[in-house]
């Protein structure tokens, strides 16, 4: 079998451009997902069941349906209501954020509920409101515990951003498919793309491990 | 100072407090004893609404906790609570544990709160631990910090729920010593404990609870030496 490195070198500028989009979209998705996810987690833990209900529905819908379906509905159904023509990168960011928020909300909720309930009681017994107790006592402790599962979620999100290629969002996978189509070749473009994803996820894994180690040594002060 | 009237409380079908009434005067030290499951913790937790009250009234310093208009957070700043398992904030230093609520709830300035915290720490004998973290302290030290933390809010009443039960025996004394000093300084205290020596020495009154009722109450000496009820006798014969 001949392996045509020239395809890879020809397409390298596009792959690098796609890499930038992949990173940008993933980062935006993570940040929006974190904020939204925390909000949903707190909503889902409300003491009022009617307040909890919409948050539960949200989480169930976004975790219970395929991301690809969500992206198609958002890109071809919802975003066109607000802009035309609809921009695939924007649709991708919205879809990834909304989807990640559902998973991140569950990560936050588990983290918050893993904190001993004596912490909340001690804070409340000192006269703090529920919000103060959350902000000053519970969340700072919960954040450390959610770092590992959040790391996993970031890696998942980075890989799932490749679904943007279906919407023709010019991210890494999109350019992989373009090269494959243009040269009618499988191995060169897809292997290259896979390798770039692998480097990204391994770097993220390494980074998360580093952060975790730092936090656990901090604990032993 | 504290007035409890016909307090009732159930968990589901399990009626844990069945009509409790009790008055505590300022500077009084009331010790609550009774067998496991008799409702002592539930009772003391009702006094700062860590448990909801089903019926009856709890009036603290003139404020009725069951009145919807009462701001419960405000009442809680007047009622210090010390827990069996300390519940210190592990992500904060000892000093921060003590200043957190005064700064954020009372609005005290940081420098002022810290100065006061150091005075309290010295009082419980832990001045040198200000910048340590809770994990590096022994159980007895943690509980003394927890007492200082509660005192920093300048409460009018202190509640203790088995403050020495989670401690190794050799650390019980140092915590009881701090509590004794507190009583001497005139703090109004309600103490759930199995430390009968403490009850006898420091208590103004001992309450014996069983099965959701206050069965008997009296001055320590009278209650320990001449219990009136069969159940009190049976309980005391086991613990004394
Ligand atoms: N949150 C709760 N939910 C349901 N039942 C509870 C709850 N807290 C306490 N109980 C029940 O209420 C009863 C009284 O409990 P409580 O903790 O007040 O007893 P106690 O006198 O403090 O006992 P101990 O000496 O073991 O601490 C027990 O039967 C207990 O199982
Ligand atoms: Mg108890």
Query: Residue B102's closest chain A neighbor by CA?
Result: A126
pLDDT tens digits for range A199-209: 999 999 999 99
> Which of B101, B113, B117 should we substitute to test contact with A (largest number of A Cβ atoms within 10 Å)?
B101
Q: Which residues of chain B make contact with A118, given a CB cutoff of 8 A? A: 83, 85, 87
Any idea of the CA torsion for B7, B13, B14, B19, to the nearest 10 degrees? Answer: 20
Residue B135 to residue B141: CA distance in whole angstroms: 10
Q: Which two tokens stand for residue B230?
A: 């069969």
Q: State whether A127 and B85 contact (CB < 8 Å).
A: no
Judge: A125–B149 Cβ closer than 8 Å, yes or no: no
Alpha-carbon distance of B96 to A75, in angstroms, equals 50
User: CA B172, B174, B176: angle at the middle one, nearest 5?
Assistant: 70
C-alpha dist (Å) from residue B103 to B23, B106, B122, B153: 32, 6, 20, 10
Cβ atoms of B45 and B74 closer than 8 Å: no
Nearest CA-CA distance, residue B226 and chain A, Å: 37
Residue closest by Cα to atom 9 of ligand 1: B42
> Token digits for A194?
């896979």
Backbone angles phi, psi at A139, to 5 degrees: -60, -45
> Closest ligand to B211 CA?
1
Q: Is the pLDDT of residue A10 over 80?
A: yes
Asked if B163 and B82 count as a contact pair (C-beta separation under 8 A), the reply is yes
Please name the residue whose Cα sits nearest to atom 1 of ligand 1.
Answer: B11
Give B-chain residues touching A219 at CB under 8 angstroms. Answer: 135
Given a cut of 70, is residue A1 above it in pLDDT?
no
Angle between helices A88-113 and A5-44 (to 10 degrees): 50
B69 CB-contact burial (10 Å; exposed 0-12 / middle 13-18 / buried 19+): exposed
How much is the ipTM here?
0.93
pTM of the model: 0.87
Residues of A with CB under 8 A from a CB of B: 116, 118-119, 121-129, 132, 136-137, 140-141, 144, 219-221
pLDDT < 50 positions in chain B = none
- C-alpha–C-alpha distance, residues B108 and B35, integer Å: 41
The model's confidence at residue A217, banded by pLDDT at 50, 70 and 90, is low
Q: Is B63 exposed, middle or buried (0-12, 13-18, 19+ CB in 10 A)?
A: middle
Q: What is the pLDDT of residues B36-47, one digit of tens each?
A: 999 999 999 999
pLDDT at A220: 47
Angle at alpha carbon of residue B106, lines to B105 and B109, rounded to 5°:
110
Q: Is the CB of B38 under 6 A from ligand 1?
A: yes
Pick the ligand that lies closest to the CA of residue B45.
Answer: 1
Owner of token pair 């100072």: B1
Q: Is B37 in the pocket of ligand 1 (CB under 6 A)?
A: yes
At residue A135 the predicted structure's pLDDT band, cuts being 50, 70 and 90, is: very high
């Amino acid at each position: 079998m001949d392996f045509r490195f020239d395809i890879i070198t020809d397409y390298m500028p596009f792959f690098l451009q796609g890499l930038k989009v992949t990173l940008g979209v993933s980062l935006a998705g993570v940040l929006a997902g974190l904020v939204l996810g925390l909000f949903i987690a707190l909503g889902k833990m409300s003491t009022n069941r009617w307040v909890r209900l919409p948050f539960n529905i949200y989480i169930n819908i976004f975790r219970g349906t395929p991301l690809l379906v969500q992206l198609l509905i958002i890109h071809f159904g919802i975003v066109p209501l607000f802009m035309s023509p609809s921009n695939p990168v924007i649709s991708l960011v919205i879809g990834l954020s909304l989807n990640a928020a559902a998973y991140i909300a569950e990560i936050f909720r588990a983290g918050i509920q893993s904190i001993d309930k004596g912490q909340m009681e001690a804070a409340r017994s000192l006269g703090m409101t529920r919000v103060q107790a959350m902000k000053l006592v519970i969340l700072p402790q919960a954040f450390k515990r959610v770092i590992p599962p959040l790391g996993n979620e970031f890696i998942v999100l980075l890989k799932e951003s490749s679904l943007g290629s279906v919407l023709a969002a010019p991210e890494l996978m999109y350019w992989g498919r373009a090269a494959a189509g243009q040269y009618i070749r499988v191995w060169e473009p897809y292997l290259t793309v896979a390798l770039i994803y692998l480097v990204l996820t391994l770097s993220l894994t390494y980074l998360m491990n580093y952060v975790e180690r730092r936090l656990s040594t901090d604990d032993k002060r | 100072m504290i007035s409890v009237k016909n307090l009732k409380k159930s968990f589901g079908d399990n009626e844990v407090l069945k009509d409790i009434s009790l008055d505590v005067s300022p500077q009084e030290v009331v010790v609550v004893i009774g067998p496991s499951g008799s409702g002592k913790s539930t009772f003391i937790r009702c006094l700062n609404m860590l448990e909801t009250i089903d019926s009856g009234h709890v009036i603290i310093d003139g404020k009725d906790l069951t009145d919807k208009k009462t701001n419960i957070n405000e009442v809680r700043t007047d009622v210090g609570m010390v827990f069996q398992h300390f519940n210190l904030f592990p992500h904060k230093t000892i000093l921060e544990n003590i200043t957190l609520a005064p700064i954020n709830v009372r609005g005290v300035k940081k420098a002022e709160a810290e100065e006061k915290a150091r005075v309290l720490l010295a009082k419980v004998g832990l001045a040198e631990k200000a910048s340590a973290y809770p994990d590096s302290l022994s159980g007895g030290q943690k509980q003394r910090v927890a007492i200082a933390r509660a005192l920093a809010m300048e409460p009018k009443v202190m509640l203790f729920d088995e403050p020495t039960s989670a401690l190794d025996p050799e650390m019980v004394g140092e915590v009881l010593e701090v509590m004794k000093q507190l009583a001497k300084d005139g703090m109004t205290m309600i103490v759930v404990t199995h430390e009968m020596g403490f009850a006898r020495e420091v208590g103004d009154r001992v309450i014996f609870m069983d099965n959701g009722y206050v069965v008997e109450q009296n001055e320590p000496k009278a209650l320990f030496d001449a219990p009136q009820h069969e159940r009190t006798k049976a309980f005391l014969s086991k613990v004394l």
